Structure 1
Amino acid sequence: MARTEYYDDPAAPEPNSLVVAASAVVTDGKGRILLQRRSDSGLWALPGGGMEMSDSLPGTAVREVKEETGLDVEITGLVGTYTDPRHVIAYTDGEVRRQFNVCFRARVIGGELTMSDESTALRFVDPGELAGLDMHHTQRLRLAHFLDDRSTPYLG
């Protein structure tokens, strides 16, 4: 199933669902950031996904990183909350979602980098390479807030 992301676009379809989600900025010992190239959009993104009824938000981030990358992570902090109603995600099955995303900081504690069917590539990226990657504005915003090393989480 393919997806299209809209941001502040008057042509965006009207949302028909609201999804609580978590993502994580996972770093390695060299300060590189784990990114996936999403199979549904072709864009580079942080690992993450929707919360299940049995999850906590930090647990969602840990589970999604494991499912999408094979890595076990430990949550080490909070980057921010991302709830901008101008961000709409449309799927080919007809779902048009507003997503409430909480983005965490995390570090690798185990596992083996393994690609899932949700990705076409996985890699740790040096922060200096981020500008050259094709990614949605909302992903860049989360990364910018992480790299700013803010003393307080972004609330938006």
Structure 2
Amino acid sequence: MILDHNDHILLVEDSKTKLWALPGGFAEIGISPVENIIKEVKEETGLNTTVKNLIAVYDTNKSNPENALAQYYKLIYYCKKLSGNLTTSIETSSVAFFDLKRLPVLSTKRNTEQQIIDCFNNKNGKTIIE
């Protein structure tokens, strides 16, 4: 999760589904979760970031029931922008910051509105594990 100076949340629009989610992706073999999120954010948004802390771990079978056939753990990190400008990629058709009270239509396979709200409210707190 990355915030701008107004505490708006950075989301990416999937180029295929046209649904929005936090930047991220499946981990690649040989790189750590932190290295993976830095790589994914750069690929999907054009931003260079640093990871501040782990704010949530979700079991997708319990928290994102649309993923029932593929169980995995989703790690949500609070990140800070270091440099770069927002750009799209092959995976993203749009990248933008949103007010928490005005979120676009989300890809609930990736992130639910409640997860985003909980992560925002917990960005400097204890890790949520569900």
What TM-score do you get using the length of structure 2 for normalisation?
Answer: 0.85
Percent sequence identity is 26
- In structure 2, what residue type is equivalent to 1:153? T
- Alignment match, 2:128: 154
Query: What is the aligned counterpart of 2:99 among 120, 126, 129?
Result: 126
Relative to total residues, which structure has the larger helix share, 1 or 2?
2
Structure 1: distance between partners of 2:7 and 2:95: 16
Deviation at 1:147, TM superposition (A): 2.4
1:1-150 alignment runs, 5 A limit: 25-86=1-62, 87-89=65-67, 97-130=70-103, 133-137=104-108, 138-149=111-122
CA-CA distance at 1:148 after TM superposition: 2.0
What SS class does the counterpart of residue 35 from structure 1 fall into? strand
- Please list the CA deviations of residues 87-141 of structure 1 after superposition, one character each: whole Å capped at 9, or x if unmatched: 3449xxxxx53231100001110112110011111101122212xx111343323
Q: For the Cα contact (< 8 Å) 1:79–1:145, is it kept in 2?
A: no
Greater strand content: 1
**Gap regions ≥5 residues in structure 2:** none
**Partner Cα separation in structure 2 for residue 89 and residue 119 of structure 1:** 21
Task: Describe the superposition over 1:37-84 as per-residue Cα deviations: whole angstroms up to 9, x where unpaired.
Answer: 112322110000011112111111111000011100111112200113
Equivalent pairs counted in the alignment come to 125
Structure 2 CA distance, aligned partners of 1:111 and 1:121? 16
SS of aligned partner of 1:26: coil
Amino acid across the alignment from 2:98? V
Against the structure 1 CA distance between its residues 53 and 69, is the aligned structure 2 distance closer, same or farther, given a 3 Å change threshold? same
Deviation at 1:152, TM superposition (A): 1.3
SS of residue in 1 equivalent to 2:70: strand
Residues in 1 aligned to 2:112 and 2:37: alpha-carbon distance in whole angstroms: 15
CA-based RMSD of the aligned residues comes to 1.9
Structure 1 unaligned regions, length at least 5 = 1-24, 91-95
